[in-house]
Amino acid sequence: MTARRWWWVAVLGMAALTGVLAIANLQTPWRLTLALTGIALLVVAWAVVGDRRAESESPSWTLVLLVTAAAGIGTAGYPTLAILQALAYPISWVFAARSRDAVVGNVLIAVAVGVGFAIGIGTGPEDIIQIIVTQSLALGFSLAMGFWITRMVELGEERGRLLTELQGAQEQIAALHRDAGAAAEREHLARELHDTIAQDLTGLVMLAQRARREGAGAVETLALIEENARGVLAETRALVAAGASVETGETRLDLLNALRRIAERFQRETGVTVTVQGPERLVLPRDLEVVVLRCAQEALANARKHARASRIEVGLVAGDGAVRVTVTDDGIGFDPDDAPDGFGLPGMRDRLALVGGSLSVTSAPGEGTRLTAEVSVQELAL
């Protein structure tokens, strides 16, 4: 039921109750006239002024004054109709613009009903004392209830405002999480593209250049180009399907054999001797396998582009709760502190950081390079 209907129930209920009391108990025509006038004024005031403002509860001093007059007139005709103030006080609190205005309205209602009492029961000393005590209690109770309800309403509004702000903050946090997730996914995809397709395409370019130099005798090189192109296609499909798989078809990898296949292909493409050593049938959790193999791939790719090496050694060591893959070349070396920006070393460090791993690079101009990627594992399957 809406607020408007509840107000109508309260007004008509009060009018019916007081009307029955007045008609049943009053014999003096002027008293009955005053009582019914006060009741009728209450109903008319609500119908003309209050009904239009009930839903929005917009302020109306006119309504407060009319209800005040109705309570005073009704009480003058029949003192029992002082119960009209039980409805007049709430109307003053609800339809006054401010709490201060509501207090003024309550005081006016108490005075009007007090005057009605004086007209209805007399102005003797005892009557005046009784009127003052009665109206003081009624006014005090009204003010206490009014301030308490007003405070509850203010707290409710404050909580509503805080809830709205909280919902807004949650939406902002959710948007930030979505943006952060999208950024992380873009960064992840960039690493995957760099560590897989970009490296393979670099190899294809170098093989194509070699085939051009070999001319008609480039049968083996062309076969390598075809093989690598198929590998790039497989990597691309893997990234599109679910990303990041290094080998297709198996759910678990033989890590050492996977490194050997990478090294064999690298050696065929570049002519650089690559040896791989490590424990047979070492099996890691899938995410760690991917990280170790990607780091090895990136280290070989860096050696291809920068090292000018004639020999590369890949070592796999497992023990003490960690797995380390080491790639050592006899190339020209470099100063790690002056390494150019790019996806290479920073990309490996970021990838290892995601699984709690670390990367160390030892190199100097003319002394080759040793790169070690280490990841921690709780259990090793050998």
**pTM exceeds 0.95 for this model:** no
pLDDT of residue 174: 77
pLDDT of residue 94: 87
pLDDT of residue 183: 67
pLDDT confidence band for 258 (50 / 70 / 90): confident
Q: Which residue has the higher pLDDT, 190 or 157?
A: 157
Query: pLDDT at residue 255 above 50?
Result: yes
Query: pLDDT at residue 175 above 60?
Result: yes
Average pLDDT over residues 63-68: 92
Residue 365's SS3 state is: coil
* Long-range CB contacts for residues 182-190, cutoff 8 Å, separation at least 24: 187/350, 188/243, 189/239, 189/243, 190/343
pLDDT of residue 314: 94
258 in Cβ contact with 325 (< 8 Å): no
Average pLDDT over residues 149-167: 86
Average pLDDT over residues 38-51: 91
Spell out the alpha helix ranges (H) of the chain.
Answer: 3-25, 29-45, 51-53, 61-77, 85-95, 99-121, 125-192, 199-214, 219-241, 255-270, 286-302, 344-354
pLDDT of residue 45: 92
Query: pLDDT at residue 248 above 50?
Result: no
312 in Cβ contact with 325 (< 8 Å): no
Amino acid, res. 254: D
Query: pLDDT at residue 167 above 70?
Result: yes
Q: Which residue ranges form the domains of the chain, and what is each CATH number?
A: 3-123 (no CATH), 252-382 (3.30.565.10)
Q: Compute the mean pLDDT over every residue in the chain, rounded to the nearest whole number.
A: 82
Query: pLDDT at residue 114 above 80?
Result: yes
Cβ neighbour number for residue 143 with a 10 Å cutoff = 18
pLDDT confidence band for 244 (50 / 70 / 90): very low
43 in Cβ contact with 60 (< 8 Å): no
Dihedral of alpha carbons 266, 269, 270, 271, sign:
positive
Residues paired with residue 315 on neighbouring β-strands, in sequence order: 277, 326
pLDDT of residue 247: 44
